[in-house]
Structure 1
Amino acid sequence: MDFGKIESLKNEGFCGFVSVKSLLNDYSQIPAIRGVYMVLRTITKEPFFLDKGSGGYFKGTDPNVAIKILQGKWVYNTPVLYIGKAGGEGKEATLRSRILKYLKFGQGKPIGHKGGRYIWQLSDAEELLSCWKPLPADAPEDVESMLISEFKHQYLGKRPFANLNK
């Protein structure tokens, strides 16, 4: 898969490609099934990072990091900012419930979705897109790991901007 092109993601079965702003108004289009999802930034101008983003303080922990850290994590030549999973072995989460948690965390709610928190320090976070790939038969954790591994191979060992593990 070419992580630099949205067409490639579509060819791999990803669908949706809906803005955060739109999903906040109506998340019913996200399927209630397990799978993997991505957060994308299609805006081509340089990112502008906020000292204090909109992420929630889960268990009183500040989700914000120094702008220097964000600048160091930025990956150029790809719209992919984050790769996540929903559901799997012994887990009841669905794409809808997991993405909704992520969006609520981005609205300042104290929700446990620390992975991907860097996204909420982008000034254009509401313009970002979410896409997803339902996986009724495959293990989301395995697919997520494979996607992150492929990404790292393509981008000289760097993880997607907001992925902190794997």
Structure 2
Amino acid sequence: MLPREQDLELAAARLVAAASLRGVTLATAESLTGGLLGQLICSVPGASAVYRGGVISYASEVKASVLGVPVGLLASRGAVDPEVAQHMAQGTARVCGADYGVSTTGAAGPEPWDGKPVGRVYLAVAGDGQVFSVERNYAGDRQSIRQQAAHDALVLLSDALEDELSS
């Protein structure tokens, strides 16, 4: 289901609040969302206290040279891959000097990409010595897939931060 603009704004506000409460900084690595994730975070008042920045790594060469995704991994599996997403999240945290990184990579369409169907997306979170990724399979057009991925990336990182607070 396509998140409404209000859902996106609330998810971004929740993330900024969780990061502020925890006293950590954030960075984004975006491929298919093309800056939408960073835009949503920056729209929240007070985001400058927790958001260090992001890398829009649309091209595989940028994923490799800036974020440190292994070239061999990109060559063998393509950019739409859970391990690529993990390297992207780790790389953006390192490059931006943040405590946590979150990444998005996937096939937004209209055609499949790297042998992956339209709507296949990988999101990853890196921080606190851990990294994990999740697979999502969205329906809809290109914009809808991008919005769903941005929303879920915000929620995924918020959940990770809130889990850390409660443990």
TM-score (norm 2): 0.30
Return the structure number with greater strand share: 2
